[in-house]
Structure 1
Amino acid sequence: MTSKSVRPVRQPGESTHVVWAIIALAAGGFGIGTTEFAIMGLLQDVAEGLQISIPQSGQLISAYALGVVVGAPILAALGARVPHKYMVLGLMGLFTIGNLSSVVAADYTTMLLTRFLSGLPHGAYFGVAAVIAASLVAPAKRAQAVAAVMLGLSVANVVGVPLVTWLGQQYGWRLMFVAVGIMGVITLVLLQRFVPFTPTHAEASIRKELSALKRIQVWLALLIGIVGFGGFFAVYSYISPTMTDVTGVPESALPLIVGLYGLGMVAGNLIGGRLADRSVMGSIYIVMTAIIIVLVLFWAAAGIPWLAIPLVFLLGAAGSSLIPGLQTRLMDASPDAQTLAASLNHSALNMANALGAFLGGAVIAAGWGFKAPALVGAGLAFLGLAVAAISGLLDRRGQAPVASEAADALSARKISGSK
């Protein structure tokens, strides 16, 4: 069989269709990012509406995060034999139902359940969407395609979260879930229209997906995310009181600060995708080092407004630059079980959120001040860089030939799909 016989013929307009397919996948990320973060700005409204305390309303955030951690591996494994197009449609359908059910949740317990339900498809959706996006483009642009899907999550912090938060404050907090539900319906239409159908591999199975958990490089990549990204969340979780109490920014300017962070996330996604396409592990080394530097600078300059405010942008950029590289690394580390591996990235990032917030809160509670989480974060990021170095060392010793395995598996899938 010649190389010409195994390459699908590019049809007129195919590149445009690929762009729209990635936009459709990113639209799902936009809705997911909006519902994940918008509730943080409406906690007081939710507490008043459900007649609960603010700490209790904060548990709604935890319930969503728990859904992400639990749902990612379970749904990705159970959907091993489901064609990817049907998988993303089903996951987005579950996400939409979960958010719309929050609109009619009558009490606190029901709201906890609906938030947990909404979080279940989060990680699996991004995992499957990343695999689809990577399969639509040339191997040299895989990470950029993955970054484009994740861009929906970043743009949500700039556009979706502020808009939905404002709507919730003006017209009732339940409108937030209505808006996200509408986003889900629009995404379903786009996915159905533009994401191409590809049959599942004949050997796909739950057991094969679970084989990803046997690979040391998968666990090392997850640990990089949990520890390294935890350093980022140690600071971002307390960015509002830090900016008001240490930097001296008025509370009225906090939406602009959060928006600046969101713009940094957008820039970081684009930069991270390009870096990862040049070298996946190289991008992780560079970004982890950048996170350490930015966190140390933020600790040193938190009391100087003209330095601290630009560093918020760099904080968002450095943190989000890590995601495309980690997502691609997980897919490469388990080429025959990419869906589960990619989905686990979002379980890891939610664990990082919990770890960073906990440790950052611990040093604040110990009386070390709002600047202290930045040093904690730098320490965590350094540990993440050390884990990355170990992972890279194993590659160089030939104990885990990740790149070659991934290339072989990708070639095999393309040949199989073209027959």
Structure 2
Amino acid sequence: MNIETQSPQNAGAAWPLIAVLSACNFVIGMGAFMVVGMIEPLADGLGVSVATVGGLMTIYALGYAILSPLLVSLSGSIGRRRVLAFGLSVFVGASLLAAVFPVLGALYLLRIIAAAGAGLVTPVTSAIAAGLSAPQERGKTLAAVFFGLTLAQVLGIPVGSWIAYTYGWRIAFVMVALLGLPCIWLVWTRVPAGLTFAPTSLRDLGGVLRDPVLMGSTLFTASFLGAIYVLFTYIPPLLAQEMGLGRNGIAAVLLVFGAAAVVGNLGGGWLSDRIGAVRTLALLCCGQIALMPVFSALPLPFWTVLTMVFFWSGMGWSFAAPQQMRLVTMAPDKAPVLLALNAAAIYIGIAIGSAVGGVVISIAGLTALGAVAGILMLGALAHLLWSHRAANIRRSNG
């Protein structure tokens, strides 16, 4: 791997550092996805439609997708501590300003700035984790760093949603900023100053972008998450309309979603270490294809919905570790750029999914979201199988 100061042999000593990286991802995940849980308070407070507020998720995703690979490539020769501290500072500052300037246009701009900060944090934490782990434990280590993002689903999103409904959405953004401040201190005091990658550049980024096999494999991330976010972006208004849920009911559903995310994240790393990344990803696609269309059959008994949400979230969040493991295994020497592009593909998928969801709502209503998401997941499965076949052909040809 490209970490110069650590090696898999001393990876056991690196777990305190992994915990710090995971904490950083918690703040990033909460600030990024909290908008999903407070779409209705934001829409009411700004006097705009639900679909317009959903655009805040879309613009964040697009900003991340464009800026993250560029910024990671340009900062490849800078120490990881400085990059992480700077990225977190930008993210925290943008979150705080979002509470101060409650105007839709300003929020859109600040979400782009926040995405730039996040784009320097998450892929760097993943690359460090991959470099610190032995190949047979890489899935588990990547899952540990990604645990912060899943914990944001358990605590951050439902708590942020509850605060937004109770005290206003501005307070939710302030909370993200306050949580980010100690993470900046932890990075500066716990991440070794000499921890660096082999230098990366725009030339490295360009080489990967021109590689159809690597890009095809990376963009599966967008296909998979795009299908999920058609439904997930608008799950609160769907549950409000079809199930009659209010603040507490929606917060409870999001809490179950988050708990399942933790189980899924850890389970995905465990499973991929045992049956392989591609088989794990194929199983997850099939489960989503079977489950998501059922959301178009609402209303259903509340406990049935909670069970559905648990398995839906668990399968969705099992995705991160096997996909990252797959990419790192394909081209270890290109890991920093690949992981940055993979993180960008996450947000491309979110942008596509939230945008498609908004179109579906305008044409067919909220109840059509589950069926459309299931159809798109069929396309994601086909994408996975195609990219895997292409990688095998390249491998067999030497």
Question: For the superposition of Structure 1 and Structure 2, which TM-score range results when normalised by the shorter chain?
Answer: 0.7 to 0.9
Report the Cα distance in structure 1 between the residues aligned to 2:207 and 2:32, rounded to whole angstroms. Answer: 30
The partner residue of 2:285 within 284, 288, 295 is 288
Alignment partner of 1:76 is 2:72: yes
Is contact 1:211–1:337 with CA below 8 Å preserved after alignment?
A: no
Residue 414 of structure 1 aligns with which residue?
A: none
Residue 213 of structure 1 aligns with which residue?
A: 209
Report the Cα distance in structure 1 between the residues aligned to 2:139 and 2:146, rounded to whole angstroms. Answer: 10
Task: After superposing the two structures, state which structure 1 stretch, 85-94 or 70-79, moved more.
Answer: 85-94
Residue 381 of structure 1 aligns with which residue?
A: 377
Gaps of 5+ in 1: 1-5, 405-419
1:210-359 matches, cutoff 5 A: 210-246=206-242, 248=243, 250-251=245-246, 252-278=248-274, 279-299=276-296, 303-359=300-356
Structure scoring higher RCO (CA < 8 A, sep ≥ 6) equals 2
Residue 366 of structure 1 aligns with which residue?
A: 363
| AA at the equivalent of 1:328 | M
The partner residue of 1:85 within 78, 81, 84 is 81
Residue 122 of structure 2 aligns with which residue?
A: 126
- Distance change >3 Å, CA 80–CA 354, structure 1 → 2: same
- Measured against aligned partners, the alpha-carbon deviations of 1:216-257 in whole angstroms (never above 9, x if no partner) come to 2322223312222222112223323443444x3532412111
The partner residue of 1:104 within 76, 100, 104 is 100
Gaps of 5+ in 2: 1-5
Report the Cα distance in structure 1 between the residues aligned to 2:299 and 2:287, rounded to whole angstroms. Answer: 17
TM norm structure 2: 0.86
- Distance change >3 Å, CA 385–CA 166, structure 1 → 2: closer
Percent pairwise identity: 27
Indicate the SS of the match to 2:300.
coil
Report the Cα distance in structure 1 between the residues aligned to 2:221 and 2:76, rounded to whole angstroms. Answer: 24
The partner residue of 1:194 within 190, 195, 207 is 190
Alignment partner of 1:53 is 2:61: no
CA offset at residue 364 of structure 1? 4.1
- Measured against aligned partners, the alpha-carbon deviations of 1:191-211 in whole angstroms (never above 9, x if no partner) come to 223333445455643312432
Is contact 2:38–2:161 with CA below 8 Å preserved after alignment?
A: yes
Alignment partner of 1:35 is 2:47: no
Is contact 1:212–1:334 with CA below 8 Å preserved after alignment?
A: no
Indicate the SS of the match to 2:333.
coil
Task: After superposing the two structures, state which structure 1 stretch, 28-37 or 203-212, moved more.
Answer: 203-212
| AA at the equivalent of 1:357 | S
- Measured against aligned partners, the alpha-carbon deviations of 1:168-218 in whole angstroms (never above 9, x if no partner) come to 455453332332122222112222233334454556433124322122232
Residue 143 of structure 2 aligns with which residue?
A: 147
| AA at the equivalent of 2:28 | I
The partner residue of 2:63 within 59, 62, 67 is 67
| AA at the equivalent of 2:344 | S
Aligned residues: 390
Report the Cα distance in structure 2 between the residues aligned to 1:202 and 1:364, rounded to whole angstroms. Answer: 46
- RMSD across aligned positions (CA): 2.9
Report the Cα distance in structure 2 between the residues aligned to 1:103 and 1:300, rounded to whole angstroms. Answer: 37
| AA at the equivalent of 1:250 | L
Residue 3 of structure 2 aligns with which residue?
A: none
Is contact 1:75–1:121 with CA below 8 Å preserved after alignment?
A: no
* Structure of higher CA gyration radius: 1
Residue 417 of structure 1 aligns with which residue?
A: none
- Measured against aligned partners, the alpha-carbon deviations of 1:18-69 in whole angstroms (never above 9, x if no partner) come to 22211111111111111123234445555666x5534555543333223212
Report the Cα distance in structure 1 between the residues aligned to 2:253 and 2:9, rounded to whole angstroms. Answer: 48
Is contact 1:24–1:187 with CA below 8 Å preserved after alignment?
A: yes
- Distance change >3 Å, CA 297–CA 46, structure 1 → 2: closer
Indicate the SS of the match to 1:336.
helix
Report the Cα distance in structure 2 between the residues aligned to 1:163 and 1:201, rounded to whole angstroms. Answer: 36
